[in-house]
Amino acid sequence: MKIPFSYTWRSLWARRLTTTLTLGGIALVVFVFASVLMLAHGVEQTMIDTGGDDNVIVLRRSANSELVSQIDRDAANLIRTNPGIATGKDGKPVVSTEVVVIINLERKDIANGMGNISVRGVSPEAMPLRPQVRIVNGQMFRFGSHEIIIGTNIANRYRGTGIGEQLRFGDAMWTVVGHFEADGDGFESEIWGDVEQLMPAFGRPVFSSLTLKLRDASAFEDVKKLIEGDPRTQYTDLKREKAYYSEQSKLMSDFIKILGLVVTIIFSVGAVIGAMITMYAAVANRTVEIGTLRALGFRRRSVLGAFLVESVFLAIIGGAAGVALASLMSFVRISTVNFGTFSELAFGFTLSPSIIVSAMIFSMLMGIVGGFLPAVRASRLNIITALRSS
């Protein structure tokens, strides 16, 4: 014979204070757990969205980022002739030769605070390659000039980045002529200018990378084999742009997950103890009820199941509250140093269905662990002893 669920609900309602305190503890732990996963997912999503589905980045073999990569002009010109590369309306291959350097800028919100900013020199083909990049204030820089455009994440946080202002870096002065957005991806944390102007300013005789658009996205392996197989370009390494930026986010997202999970585990121990105390108190206060249930013919496993369901139900409610609170973090954006590039990266907390499922499973596990021992104790109470306790 099974104990009806209404009995479980009434018992929770009868102990509103302890139930509320336990719910709060579980909700807090699930909030931290979900927020950590959202933060790591936000980093990954920001970086992955930076890449295009049809785009391929060309780096020097064994270079793990554009900062340490070098592609000479002869190799770049040879790669442009690959038949697998898409062409623009002008019939030219859609290939952007690029250079990436790091500079320091002064923050607006921190006195004497400095930040590392990525400066990307691009070719005219960069805009067709990245259609998500759009000017929102001012205008596009003119190629052949010392003009630059700045991502909104940088413009909002750093001094000297307003339209019409000038910045000194490299060996020249640069005039800010526009601000751009890129659908929240990593490019919004960069400064863009003409690659042919930035290279001499920083004394760079070679490019950092090339980014090209495939004529056919499924032909990646053929293009990769042809370029890497040529003796003149065999020192290069081709990667899909999304895969490259996913790799750039891995170190940082893994660090966030590990650090967050350590904190979550510490908090969860407290929540489990709280749930256990609550359930032990429930057993102690309902000894006569348990004895009566057993006398009426309810088996031990029914009593155990009822108390375990009560604990899990408590955890589910707390977990749902924690996820609901964590979802509010979706409106928050933060900025920090990306461990992969050592430059500024702005990103937000991103909630996904998999995070919701993981958070709810985690809360249910806390309920099971916290309620199991009290449930076992309730099921093992002697009928006569329990009835006499009144």
Q: Would you state the structure tokens that stand for residue 47, as one six-digit string?
A: 């970086």
Q: Which of 67, 72, 122 is nearest to 94 (CA)?
A: 122
User: How many CA atoms does the CB half-sphere of 52 hold within 13 Å?
Assistant: 20
What percent of the chain has a predicted confidence (pLDDT) above 90? 32
Distance CA 388, CA 390 (A): 5
Q: Render pLDDT for 155-200 as a digit per residue (tens, 0 to 9).
A: 888 888 999 999 999 888 999 999 999 888 888 889 999 999 999 9
β 190-194/114-122 pair status: parallel
User: Using CB atoms within 10 A of its CB, is residue 86 exposed (0-12), middle (13-18) or buried (19+)?
Assistant: middle
| H or E, element range at 321 | helix 300-327
Distance CA 261, CA 281 (A): 30
Distance CA 341, CA 376 (A): 53
Q: Render pLDDT for 320-344 as a digit per residue (tens, 0 to 9).
A: 999 999 999 888 776 666 655 666 6
Distance CA 329, CA 172 (A): 41
Distance CA 301, CA 9 (A): 19
What is the band of 303 on the pLDDT scale with cuts at 50, 70, 90? low
What pLDDT sits at residue 11? Answer: 64
Q: What is the pTM of this model?
A: 0.73
Q: What is the mean pLDDT of residues 209-231?
A: 91
Helix (H, G, I), strand (E, B) or coil at 106: strand
